[in-house]
Structure 1
Amino acid sequence: MNIQKIIDRRKLDEKMPDLPWYVQQFMDYKLPDLSPSTLLEYVRDYEAFFSWLRSEGLSAGDTNAQVTLEELETLHMDSITGFRLFLSTKSEGSNSRITISRKLSSLRSLFHYLSQIAEDENFYPLLKRNIMAKVEIKRVHKPKDTAAKLKGKILEEDELLEFIGYIYEGYGQDLANNKQALYSYELNKERDACIASLILNSGLRVSEIVNLNIDDLDINNKLLYVYRKGNNDETFKTPVYFREQSKDDLTLYLSLRHTRYRAPKKEKALFVARPNGSTEGKRMTKRAIQAMIIKYAKRFGKPYLTVHKLRHSFATDYYLQNDIYKTKEQLGHASTETTEVYAHLTDKTMSQAIERRIETRTDSAD
């Protein structure tokens, strides 16, 4: 059972009544093919768009659920241009070009469904005119651009070990005068270090960490069985290897899991937390793990470090010893295009090409 998927599906169901009926129909159409997490992103994009339509007087609806198909049909290109401008300049924080492109893609998917796939009772398209078909969305998420943004914002070489070591000891030294924070730290440091170690030694996503059960761990063979992103087969878990260091960190955490967190036998989660006032441990949430890494990263002197950047840190380090195809499989990428980020981050491809050129010249001279 994919726990994170269940949580995201619950959130998706909670949001549905606040959206127009045709969006709910679109979600039902997409659900077999896309994860609830992806659909939640779609929903957030639609919420922003419908709220903007109402604020601009382009919809007479009092709520997002009341935005009509007729109002979507009568939108002009100026309206879409205005929404794009709103996304790039809104006061609470402008979106990056990549984020704007993704939001427009979400809208285009909805409009395409309404105009090309969905039908009314007379077999006519639900949407007679599709303004989003005129919108050109340029590809801006290029591996080289992503790599440039990650430069200097991931852990490199010895920093991987130093960060784990900091969670074990350094953070506690920095908290010496804060007894309340120190108590929580002493309770959780082995678990927290183990989570960071596992990401930095396997490249797992935070959702994959959250979903891990004790039974998914084969510690002797340094293997984990995980639900991979994009795989909707609930009966199959992908085997993922982790490095030797995580074996020691996992062994230490497991020796403390029951006594520290008092997790009941029915709780199968590998990583658990015991909330204040609770007598039993329960599965950690994605948000708790994300906040935990940020907390340590700030004190470590890397305030830009996140769970996902830990994954990038592992991937960059792993790619230095392996080819792009092995890196792709280890990370669970759908294509090598995503994995190309690490080629740009390490400049490995270019350096290898130069070395081969030098070797060729040397051989020719001989």
Structure 2
Amino acid sequence: MSIQKNSDRKLLDEKVLLMPWFVQQFIDFKRPDLSPSTLLEYIRDYESFFGWLRAEGLTQAASLAEITLLDLETLHMDSIVGYRLHLTTRAEGTNTRVTVSRKLSALSSLFHYLSQIAEDENFYPLLKRNIMAKVEIKRIHKPKDTAAKLKGKILEDEELLEFVGYIYDGYGRDVEANKQAYYSFQLNRERDACIASLILNSGLRVSEVVNLNVDDLDVNNKLLYVYRKGNNDETFKTPVYFREQAKDDLSLYLSLRQSRYKTPKKEKALFIALPNGSHEGKRMTKRAIQEMIIKYAKRFGKPYLTVHKLRHSFATDYYLQNDIYKTKEQLGHASTETTEVYAHLTDKTMSEAIERRLEN
């Protein structure tokens, strides 16, 4: 089982106990089909909704666990409209349209289960009236729209190599006057460049990078074995190829992994961090990798670049040389609909390249 999945499952098991019994039953129904991280998002969305019900006096429950089916059955359409307004206008931070849509979809899934699938001892639905059936939830994620948002915010062409090169050398020159930043750079540059290179040459998700073990790597055959998102077979690791450019970066980092990071032999993680004051290295966290990429991206002149946009950068570049089905498999997408983003992006990339040639 992956490190992240194990952590999410533990947290899910803790949080679900604070939910009403019928939510616990719904989560158990969904466990075989959805990952722990997805189910955690469901729980957080229900925490938000049930908390709002209590704040608005729409339930007499003293805690989230005491919310009843009758509380849900007797909701008016005005209440759902009010919750939607709460999500989009609350003072402490509004939600994006995508987030609102996701939260309403989570509610829809729960209400559908309670009214159409779950039964009481007399074979009647647990929920007699489903208010969420009246709510139209518009599809937000359209590949063309996503591509438009990514335009100009990913690395293209020679920038993929330039960014890795900048981590090796350019960043050090930029922070040379800052002793602490320069020391950290000297310690971690081979590792950091290797991580960026690996994502830019394989399209791995950050969670997949975090979960990599040394044994998952076959440098000679340019092959990795990873736990892919959405695959609930916890014994199976998917083979994923990486491009030649990452081979030397991986070999260099591996030669330093144990000595530089004081990595104990029991530590299986591929990417290691050595926290200040620590006597031995341990697996890098997802947040550490995300913050590391943002740090280099800002100095590189691409402040909008994130670790996930490195994946988008690879995908766009890869799609230019392969078809949508190969790109889908390489990225581990569940359907080609998600991969269509890169079809729209590459159309724009190619048209801009033609314009540049005409200008020259």
Mapped partners of 1:95, 1:312: distance in 2: 24
Segments of structure 1 that go 5 or more residues without pairing to the other structure are 352-366
Offset of residue 350 of structure 1: 9.1
Look up the equivalent residue of 2:59 and give its one-letter code: S
The two structures, once aligned, show a CA RMSD in angstroms of 1.7
Secondary structure in 2 aligned to 1:225? strand
Q: Deviations over 1:159-192 (max 9, x none)?
A: 1111111211222222222222222222111111
- How do 1:213-292 residues align onto structure 2 when only pairs under 5 Å count? 213-292=213-292
2:347 — aligned with what? Answer: 347
Mapped partners of 1:276, 1:31: distance in 2: 39
Look up the equivalent residue of 1:66 and give its one-letter code: E
2:56 — aligned with what? Answer: 56
Mapped partners of 1:99, 1:207: distance in 2: 21
Offset of residue 119 of structure 1: 2.4
2:314 — aligned with what? Answer: 314
Q: Deviations over 1:118-174 (max 9, x none)?
A: 223333322221111111112121100110111111111121111111211222222
1:155 — aligned with what? Answer: 155
Q: Contact 1:343–1:349 (CA<8 Å) still a contact in 2? A: no
Offset of residue 102 of structure 1: 1.3
1:20 — aligned with what? Answer: 20
Q: Deviations over 1:191-229 (max 9, x none)?
A: 111111100000001111111111111100111111111
Q: How many residues align?
A: 352
Offset of residue 70 of structure 1: 1.2
- How do 1:68-79 residues align onto structure 2 when only pairs under 5 Å count? 68-79=68-79
Mapped partners of 2:120, 2:277: distance in 1: 53
Q: Deviations over 1:40-99 (max 9, x none)?
A: 111111111111111222122233222222111111111111111222222233222222
Mapped partners of 2:90, 2:152: distance in 1: 28
Change over 3 Å in CA distance of 1:137–1:350 after alignment to 2: farther
Change over 3 Å in CA distance of 1:117–1:346 after alignment to 2: same
Q: Deviations over 1:240-260 (max 9, x none)?
A: 111111101100100000001
Secondary structure in 1 aligned to 2:249? helix
2:355 — aligned with what? Answer: none
2:11 — aligned with what? Answer: 11
Q: Does 1:196 align with 2:230?
A: no
Mapped partners of 2:236, 2:142: distance in 1: 31
Secondary structure in 1 aligned to 2:313? helix
1:355 — aligned with what? Answer: none
Q: Does 1:172 align with 2:182?
A: no
How high is the TM-score relative to the length of structure 2?
0.93
Look up the equivalent residue of 1:170 and give its one-letter code: G
1:82 — aligned with what? Answer: 82
Q: Deviations over 1:279-322 (max 9, x none)?
A: 12111111221121122222222222111111001000111111
Segments of structure 2 that go 5 or more residues without pairing to the other structure are 352-360
1:186 — aligned with what? Answer: 186
Offset of residue 348 of structure 1: 7.1
Q: Does 1:30 align with 2:64?
A: no
1:114 — aligned with what? Answer: 114
Secondary structure in 2 aligned to 1:239? strand
Q: Contact 1:45–1:103 (CA<8 Å) still a contact in 2? A: yes
1:357 — aligned with what? Answer: none
Secondary structure in 1 aligned to 2:317? helix
Q: Does 1:40 align with 2:40?
A: yes
The percent of aligned pairs where both chains have the same amino acid is 81
Secondary structure in 1 aligned to 2:305? coil
